[in-house]
Chains A and B, each alone.
Chain A
């Protein structure tokens, strides 16, 4: 390979290109920049800009030969029907609750792997926890349907050990959806928490315990403050993931657990001026989620202490 590239220098055109690369800064930059910039524009920016435009159009696609009429009516339609507003509020309440629950459920796991388990076992335990996350959201929803259905594994087990009142209605409600969603989100909480907890020096904890701090005190005064960055990152990731969920609420949730992302999908797929309406709703979700997360980070993000 190298020999081939050395022989390539026998060609004048190749030498000229190398020469240009050595002398001209714009050439160096454009070799690296052309493809990424073009891609960023086509894949990341243009679709969103177009979406913002469409959300303001009276109707889209435009009939041939007509000029677009601008209107805000797709944004005001959001407030027009309680159906939309309830789904929207439910999504944010649900997202907040799931984020808090995930934090509580996963924190001991991250603490156990990073601080209590023997260092030699850490990688293996971590891989064990990560393994199910390589499986698709739809497959994992299906697995939980099999667990929680009326004739599913849990109910079958409950009646086998003789619990009264089986089958329990476990599926298609908030409980099943919460169980399933935490199944999806826990990894996004675990990895930032693990990274933060791993950095805490064990001797700090030992010092505190030598000085007589009880367990809960060591937790609130040392572990929690020192892992704050991981907590904030984990919560942000989990919240953004939860408010965007589309498939799982349809599979594990019931009629009373419709999430806003699902509403957007339904609005978008309908006939009529569905595209402008879907666009407006998408932007409302995006803006609200980013504002919510931004506020959260502003309040809880650890500030870098000034070094003086």
Chain B
């Protein structure tokens, strides 16, 4: 029930934040209306970082504590993170075409490392499907999740480290946190969208975690069923001769 409230609150907050970003805040003087995409684009990117960060931390915690619930958290982070990375790329393309003149540029460090981020976590999700042994799957996923997380800071700092097309951080760097290169109302619209996305993110994480737990219970049941069937068969093979020999005299005596 509390989770449902979080979901409803998140949806309402996203609608409110979208309304604020689309209709209340003025368009940027130079970029025009296209700049409004920045609110969903940047918020999606930060949520994606957070998701993959959770996957990495849950992976470390799993390797330490060996609790499969942590692996479910890691899975939730990866799937939700992939969704928000896709949103980031889509928003970026819809902004890039009117402002840059192109949807996409390979070899721009920010764009390419972001595409790599998406590919890495799609690979993470695919890898999970290869193994059906929960502990082995969780261990492998934790390691791959950790390796993939290396790309998160690379994506973020790519605009500072390398020459590219993508602009540098407006508020996402230490020196700009207090002095963003954007008017306060633009920052407010971005933070509003970030807050709204965070609510929805929390809801999605909880629901995806619950789904993983139930699916794994079903999986576990199937495994137990197979073992039971095998045991029953071997038990029958060993005890059947004894059972029949015991039963035979009884049958003989009845007629």
Physical interaction between A and B: no
Q: Which residues of B contact A (CB under 8 A)?
A: none
